[in-house]
A and B are shown apart, each in its own frame.
Chain A
Amino acid sequence: MNQQELEGILQKAAELKVFCEYGERTIPILDEVASFVREISPAIEDLRAVVEVSMVNIPKAADQLARVTQATEQASTEILNTLDKMVATLDEVIGSVASGMVSSEVGIATKKVSVIVKSLVDKSGWDEDIVKLAEAWDVHLQSLRMSGPTSNLERLLKDLQNDCTEIMMALQVQDITQQHIGAVMGTIQAVAEGLRKLTTGFFSTATAESLPPLPAMLVQTEKENVGDVERKKMVESLLSKARAGQL
């Protein structure tokens, strides 16, 4: 409702007042209506200003949230790429350590002897003494793995690999955050839609038509009021009921 329309209403009220000279009781009511319209006129102007600013800011806020999601997804992908490389490298190193092939002089010598022993067994046609030598060598290799820094190193490397897995699992936070941002976007979209209706139906300005569309995101509107532990308990309880045919 603009100033011109408000003045129109006041004009009509004034004309009505003239026509209603016969009904003195209606004149005070019309005066009150006119007074009310005058009072709310500045408030409506203020509201229009707030709505117009909000209609510009809401899509901006939604766009910023969408950018946060994109940025965290990209970062997660990069972290996962690095972790994949680390896990693959650790696999190789663990394999080498487990077979006693650490990159030291002893390791290289051990590897050479292992190859020679294997070759001897093959060439000898499984000669009894050579097989015994190979078995003794295997026992020696096992004792090497079990003792000293090599076994500690293997354990440490496996711990590192487990740490990599834990970091990977922690990246679920990206998806969880994205889902929650999606829910906020849903609320923002609902507010924007309400304001859009308000501007087209009440203020009749061009604001609504000129607004950019909100970025599309999956919307999850479900309320989740419990913590992770309670939620998991609730899920397990329902699964048990379902298994017992009680759902």
Chain B
Amino acid sequence: MTSMKILIVDDSITIRRIITNALKTVGFPETIEAANGKDALEKLASANVDFIITDWNMPEMNGLDFIKQVRANPLYSALPILMITTRGTEHDVIEALQAKVNSYIVKPFTPQELKEKIEGILKTVQVNTV
């Protein structure tokens, strides 16, 4: 179990609940949720977030624009970001990586896959910090 607080950004309530439950089963019980990028930026300002999981296709502000805003803000620019989306073309992945997402999962995913991605990102972030 870890006390890391994870922000889940997805317009689908179903997916937010699925990610929340999957995170609980792999030892990340502390989560907060946002329905789109705009909502997520507000949550970032009010909560102490350690990690972001975001979808791409969302109303008001999509995941890619949200990531760009996070990376442009010195307060949050170093936060690890994992994108979980149905968008699975090579062009999509490259675009997300260019927006400086740390890692990428194409739905559907398993709790184990989620755990491995999060741990992989945290390891990389720690190495870079050291």
> Chain A residues in contact with chain B, CB under 8 A?
73, 76-77, 80, 84, 87, 165, 168-176, 178-180, 182, 218, 220, 222-224, 226, 228, 231-232, 234-235, 238-239, 242-243, 247
Contact = CB atoms under 8 A, between A and B. Distances in A.
Interface in B10-34: 11-15, 17-18, 21-22, 25
B109 A165 contact: no
Contact of A175 (B105, B106, B107): B107
Given A165-B21, A172-B15, A247-B97, A235 B89 contact: no
Contacts of B109: 169, 172
Contact of B93 (A76, A87, A234): A234
Given A228-B108, A235-B106, A178 B18 contact: no
9 contacts: A165-B21, A168-B17, A171-B14, A172-B14, A172-B107, A172-B108, A172-B109, A179-B86, A231-B88
Contact of A232 (B21, B89, B98, B106): B106
The A contact surface, by secondary structure, is helix
B25 A165 contact: yes
Nearest to A247: B97
B39 interface: no
A73 B124 CA distance: 36
Given A222-B87, A247-B98, 19 more contacts: A76-B14, A77-B14, A165-B22, A168-B17, A168-B21, A169-B22, A172-B15, A174-B14, A175-B14, A178-B12, A179-B86, A218-B57, A220-B57, A222-B91, A235-B93, A235-B104, A238-B90, A238-B93, A238-B94
B18 A172 contact: yes
Contacts of A172: 14-15, 18, 107-109
Nearest to B25: A165
Contacts of B124: 243
B81 to A, nearest CB: 13
A217 to B, nearest CB: 10
A31 B30 CA distance: 82
A71 to B, nearest CB: 13
Interface in B88-119: 88-94, 97-98, 103-111
B57 A179 contact: yes
